Amino acid sequence: MHRTLRAVFAAAALTLIPAAPAVAAPYASRTLSKGTSGSDVAALQRYLDDAGYDTTADGEFGPATAGSVRSFETAEQREVDGKATRSDQLVVKSRAEESAPEQSAADQGDEAYVGDDGLAVAPASAPEEIQAIIAAGNKIAAKPYKYGGGHGRWRDSGYDCSGSVSYALHGAGLLDTPLDSTGFMSWGDRGKGDWVTIYANAGHAYMTVAGLRFDTSSSKRSGSRWSETTRSARGYRVRHPEGL
C-alpha cells in the first residue's frame, strides 16, 4: 500500500478512538497542576472565581488557571508554584464561601436604612455597639475623601477608605488605633459577622453594618457614604468584630 494511503488510514483510525473520559475526582483529594483535568479542577476553578480570582470553569488546568492559583498563593502568603495542593484547595473553598452574598441581621428584618439626608438610621433592635458605629459613621458621612485621612488623627478634614472604617469602629470602642486596609485583612475574626462585616484587600476597605454598606466609593460623590446597594466581595478578605 502506498505510504500516503497508509498515513490517511492511520489518521482515520485514530479519530475512531473515543476520547478519555474526564476524571471524576473528589474535591481536594489530589494535588492539581498544569495538565490535570476533571470535576475537581472545575470545582477549584469555580471557587477561585468566587474568591475573586477571575477563572473560567472548564475542567482543564491550563496556564490561565495556574495564573489564578499563583495569585491566590501570593495573596495568602503560601508557596507560589502554581500548583493547588489539597490544603490550597480547602483554603480557596473557604475564601469563596466567605465571599458569598452576605446574609446578615438585615435579612432577618433587623435592617438599617438611609434617610433622605444621606445618614444611616439604625434598627431599634441593634446592639449598642451597632448604634454607636452608625452614629460615628454619620459624623463623617459628608466628609470628602482624603488620602491618609483619619490615620494621623481621629478628627480630620477628610477620610480615606480605611480611615473611615477605623473612625466608625473607634466610635463604638472597637478600635484604639486606625488601621490601613492591609491591617484590616487580619483584624478581628474570620468570615462574615451577624451585624458587621469588613471587606479588605491591599488597596481598599469597606464594611457593611446592619445591611448598609459604608464605603468611600459607594456613590459618585467623593467621600464616606452609606449605601443600600451591595458590591462584589471578590478579592477581599472578610472579617468581623468578635461577637458582632
Position with higher pLDDT, 63 vs 21:
63
Are residues 55 and 81 both part of a single domain?
yes
pLDDT above 60: residue 82: yes
Question: What pLDDT does 113 receive?
Answer: 92
Of 107, 75, 56, 22, residue with least CA distance to 186: 75
Are residues 10 and 86 both part of a single domain?
yes
Of 31, 50, 51, residue with least CA distance to 41: 31
Are residues 161 and 126 both part of a single domain?
yes
CA atoms within 13 A on the CB side of 225: 16
Are residues 90 and 146 both part of a single domain?
no
DSSP 199: E
Give CA–CA dist 208/206, Å, rounded.
Answer: 7
What CATH number should be reported for the domain holding residue 162? 3.90.1720.10
Model's pTM, two decimal places? 0.62
Mean pLDDT of 167-196: 94
Final residue before a domain boundary, out of 98, 126, 144: 98
Q: Which three cell numbers stand for residue 192?
A: 462574615
Mean pLDDT of 99-118: 69
What CATH number should be reported for the domain holding residue 51? 1.10.101.10
Are residues 188 and 134 both part of a single domain?
yes
pLDDT digits (tens, 9 = 90+) for 146-180: 999 999 999 999 999 999 999 999 999 999 999 99
pLDDT above 90: residue 110: no
Mean pLDDT of 193-202: 94
Q: Which three cell numbers stand for residue 130?
A: 451597632
58 lies in which domain range? 3-98
Of 223, 79, 231, 195, residue with least CA distance to 138: 223
Position with higher pLDDT, 18 vs 170:
170
For residue 194, give the 3-state DSSP assignment.
coil
Are residues 175 and 190 both part of a single domain?
yes
pLDDT above 70: residue 87: yes
Question: What pLDDT does 218 receive?
Answer: 65
For residue 145, give the 3-state DSSP assignment.
strand
Poorest-pLDDT segment among 20-24, 52-56, 154-158: 20-24
Q: Which three cell numbers stand for residue 77?
A: 502568603
State how many domains the chain has: 2
- 29 with 4: CB under 8 angstroms? no
Give CA–CA dist 84/103, Å, rounded.
Answer: 29
